Amino acid sequence: MPSRPTIPILQLPLNLPHLPLHNPPNNPLVLALLRPPHPHLQPAQPRQQILPFLTQPRAGAAIDATIPRRFPRRSIHAPGIIRTPARRLAGGWGRRSRALFSLTALGERDDLRGLRAFVVGALRGAEVRRDGGVGAFHFAPGPDALAGVEARAGAGEGPGVGVVGLWVGRGGGVGGECGHGFRGREKGKERTVAKEGDQVSGWVAVGGRAVGWAGGLAGLLAGGGLGYSNCDGLTQPSLDQVKQIIQDGNALPNPPNLVPLCASISSEFLTPSSIYLKIAAHAKTNLSFLFESAATTETIGRYSFVGADPRTTLASGPKHGLEADPLPRLASHLSQYRVAHIPSLRLPPMTGGAIGYVGYDCVKYFEPRTHRDDMKDVLGVPESLFMLFDTVVAVDHFFQKVMVITYLHVPGKDAPQTAVDEAYAACKKTIADTLKILKNGEMKLPEQGPVKLEQEYTSNVGRAGYEAHVTKLKEHIVTGDIIQAVPSQRIARPTSLHPFNIYRHLRTVNPSPYLFYIHCSDFQIIGASPELLAKADAQTGRIITHPIAGTVKRGTTPDQDVALADSLRASLKDRAEHVMLVDLARNDINRVCDPLTTRVDQLMLVQKFSHVQHLVSEVSGILRPTQTRFDAFRSIFPAGTVSGAPKVKAMELIAALEREKRGVYAGAVGYFGYDVVDPSSGKQEEGAMDTCIALRTMVVKDGVAYLQAGGGIVFDSDEGEEYEETMNKAAANMRCIEQAERLHWEEQQGVGGLVDEEVLGEGVVGAGTDEVRMERVDVAGG
């Protein structure tokens, strides 16, 4: 049986007044207190917790953990020495062992094999230096606490290692291989370390999480982004590695012709909005986008994406060159490119590709029966618009870093030998220029002209008109033509606000899983959608959709909020409507997926948003080999939650009543990625797809903001209640415009301060007319 090595405990002289020990993703210092676990060590026993809790050290103090003498030094366990109010950290992050590090500190004699464990942090058999060396860790104050690490060993050295904070050796030693992001040195030769699936000191990094026997917090961070892609601005992969990728791919029948390059910096002083403003200010065109995902009670968004100056733009519609299904042309453009899969980069799910929207009116190309020639085009925007990006900026909120990602276009076989070098240099320059823009402290806010308050909202149908639509659709339900339909009304609101100032406030008053701002030259799309339309998991081939049906407003108190949620669950009308749409989603999924794989993963969960609560379900299935993600999109589009059931007949009736093109509303916003090829195996996977329904969405054009909202009509729907439901759904966007106008008006008037949210009331509507005026409602003291 191999001997068990000693695991020393380090003392870290810190010049920081506070050390936040209870937030592990933001506190990599904790990870360096102990070395990475050795493969021969055994998981700690849960009840042998003998080390005291670490406390907040005073300035200049050292973290100390004294071993009680009553415990034998030959078998000292250190399981989960840090706790949080809710749970032990290791219990949430690790597997197989609930200990944070699952280490066993073993020693011989009374001096732990000669190591002075609490002096300067000697590492096994290493030379101890008080000013830096193996085991002596100096942490520079600042956003990246590990930036100042110095670790020297005989095999090589690096300018600052990853979050694991150590030179990671396969045998648990120090100096064999370095965990410095993508690069490492061993005996003077550069090599790639810590690839996906590689075992490094007992950790197995898969998909950003450590699932090896240790399974601790350190494994999570090492397998995520910080251990492999440091915030040092270093471009990865190197030129030699790119050439090797291209050489490996040339032997394949489908070689990759795009190689992703990336570099990262800390996101401490950067927000998605500030990044967008900086990038857009330096753009050469008026085409740009910002995608965000805000937290709800059930979900947390990890990434935000920013891009400007697309390589190509694809628009469709009567005045835009293509009056046909826009998806074949989009698929044709995307199919020309294949991205090399590089697991060690740990890239986000979206690294480029097509970003944009498919408007609701494109359904006439998918279902010709729904086409009508007498539909008025009030907005005059393209029926679909996609921008193809080679460079995007991704914000990783979990690891607090910003990644600039760009594609290197592989030169053709007839290109000169220097073509790859030139392409790599051009990509490095793109990354360097983008990082320079982001690091620049200056940020130009949108130019905002004089703001006019309390302008009128005008509905295209009014209360009487919408209630008449409800009555007419109920008649069709009685005759058996349909089971449900979803009519809508559009509300126009003149505003002098810059569109991005509207978005800035929308993201605060209505945080949603899908937040987006798309600048399309002469119009802007601003949205906070709660609902996923169609998503394709490239690795599993699974297609996912989230039907939402059943709505109730938020309560004014937590108890009232719970009571309203309970009433929503108990509502027979909402439950019947929801189950019907879940069945419709199952039918849409079955058209392109193996029916044996179709399943309802979640059923009628209550999801809370800023103004309303919804019943939400999840339906998924594995795509058949003969089908593509574009087939799945056509099958699901538009969602039953914005059309009805049976879907085609419901859409025919809606078009006959509304007589206006819906435009972006009720369509889809999202992205389609490029196909991915593994250069080593030649395996090709269809690119990612993630789209949401364009709900809670505004189109701003020529100084007018257009809002639209609808609701599901069934047999026992009440006309007045259905109208109020549409107004509740539009309330967040209405409040957003009014609040943003008030804030900017006060700034211009020199008043200052923030407007009370309660001042922005639900609005008073005029009944019985086609024109609706939403008036401000002041509360006491407002």
CB 460 within 8 A of CB 703: no
Percentage of the chain beyond pLDDT 70 is 66
Indicate whether 538 pLDDT > 90.
no
Give the per-residue pLDDT at 231. 63
Cα separation, 369 vs 365, in Å, equals 9
Q: Name residues whose C-beta falls within 8 Å of residue 620's C-beta, 6 or more positions apart in sequence.
A: 542, 543, 544, 545, 589, 598, 599, 601
Instruction: Name the more confident of 106 and 622.
Output: 622
Indicate whether 343 pLDDT > 80.
yes
Among 191-205, 317-331, 645-659, 730-744, the minimum mean pLDDT is found in 191-205
Give the per-residue pLDDT at 280. 95
Q: Binning pLDDT at 50, 70 and 90, where does residue 118 land?
A: very low
CB 545 within 8 A of CB 716: no
Q: Binning pLDDT at 50, 70 and 90, where does residue 233 land?
A: confident
Q: Name residues whose C-beta falls within 8 Å of residue 356's C-beta, 6 or more positions apart in sequence.
A: 314, 384, 385, 386, 387, 518, 669, 671
Among 185-199, 287-301, 490-504, 745-759, the minimum mean pLDDT is found in 185-199
Among 292-301, 570-579, 711-720, 745-754, the minimum mean pLDDT is found in 292-301
Give the per-residue pLDDT at 499. 96
Give the per-residue pLDDT at 752. 58
Give the per-residue pLDDT at 693. 97
Q: Name residues whose C-beta falls within 8 Å of residue 412's C-beta, 6 or more positions apart in sequence.
A: none
Mean pLDDT across the chain, nearest whole number?
Answer: 73
Give the per-residue pLDDT at 263. 97
**H helix intervals, 127-210:** none
Instruction: Name the more confident of 738 and 121.
Output: 738
Model confidence over 71-115: pLDDT tens digits? Answer: 333 333 333 333 333 332 222 222 333 332 222 233 333 333 333
SS3 readout for 460-514: CCHHHHHHHHHHHHHHHHHCCCCCEECCEEEEEEECCCCHHHHHHHHHHHCCCCE
Q: Which residue has the tokens 């085009």?
A: 377
CB 183 within 8 A of CB 174: no
Among 211-225, 505-519, 731-745, the minimum mean pLDDT is found in 211-225
Give the per-residue pLDDT at 728. 85
Indicate whether 171 pLDDT > 80.
no
Instruction: Name the more confident of 406 and 186.
Output: 406
Q: Which residue has the tokens 């460079």?
A: 391
Give the per-residue pLDDT at 294. 78
Q: Binning pLDDT at 50, 70 and 90, where does residue 743 land?
A: very high
- Average pLDDT on 597-609 reads 93
Q: Which residue has the tokens 């030169």?
A: 411
Residue 173 to residues 2, 155, 725, Cα–Cα distance (Å): 15, 11, 64
Q: Collapsing DSSP states into helix, strand and coil, what is residue 144?
A: coil
Residue 614 to residues 247, 530, 617, 669, Cα–Cα distance (Å): 52, 9, 10, 20
Q: Name residues whose C-beta falls within 8 Å of residue 133's C-beta, 6 or more positions apart in sequence.
A: 126, 127, 150, 151, 152
Give the per-residue pLDDT at 1. 52
Give all strands (DSSP E) within 349-450, no chain letters.
353-358, 384-389, 391-396, 401-409
Q: Binning pLDDT at 50, 70 and 90, where does residue 172 land?
A: very low
Among 116-120, 356-360, 408-412, 644-648, the minimum mean pLDDT is found in 116-120
Instruction: Name the more confident of 64 and 503.
Output: 503
Q: Binning pLDDT at 50, 70 and 90, where does residue 549 land?
A: confident
Q: Name residues whose C-beta falls within 8 Å of residue 780's C-beta, 6 or more positions apart in sequence.
A: none
Q: Binning pLDDT at 50, 70 and 90, where does residue 230 land?
A: low
Cα Rg, the chain, nearest whole Å: 29
- Average pLDDT on 704-723 reads 93
Helix 462-478 and helix 719-749: axis angle, to 10°?
150
Give the per-residue pLDDT at 573. 86
What one-character DSSP code corresponds to residue 217?
A: H
Model confidence over 626-646: pLDDT tens digits? Answer: 999 999 999 999 999 999 999
What one-character DSSP code corresponds to residue 42?
A: P
- Average pLDDT on 448-472 reads 94
CB 216 within 8 A of CB 94: yes
Report how far Cα 761 is from the mean position of its chain's Cα atoms.
Answer: 32
Indicate whether 594 pLDDT > 60.
yes
**Nearest-5° Cα angle at 183, 438 to 345:** 60
- Average pLDDT on 686-707 reads 96
Cα separation, 506 vs 729, in Å, equals 13
Indicate whether 745 pLDDT > 50.
yes
Indicate whether 236 pLDDT > 50.
yes
Give the per-residue pLDDT at 302. 86
Model confidence over 663-685: pLDDT tens digits? Answer: 999 999 999 999 999 988 888 88
In one letter, which amino acid is 761? G
Instruction: Name the more confident of 544 and 133.
Output: 544
CB 164 within 8 A of CB 197: no
- Average pLDDT on 445-454 reads 89
Percentage of the chain beyond pLDDT 90 is 53
Q: Binning pLDDT at 50, 70 and 90, where does residue 295 land?
A: low
Cis? peptide before 17, omega within 30° of 0: no
**H helix intervals, 69-205:** 89-93
Q: Binning pLDDT at 50, 70 and 90, where does residue 463 land?
A: very high
Is the alpha carbon torsion for 112, 115, 121, 123 positive or negative? negative
Q: Read off the tokens for 594.
A: 């193996």
* Positions marked active-site: 614, 641, 665, 696, 712
Beta-ladder partners of 551: 614
In one letter, which amino acid is 553? K
176 burial via Cβ count (<10 Å: 0-12, 13-18, 19+): buried
Indicate whether 351 pLDDT > 90.
yes
In one letter, which amino acid is 518? I
**Nearest-5° Cα angle at 733, 561 to 778:** 75
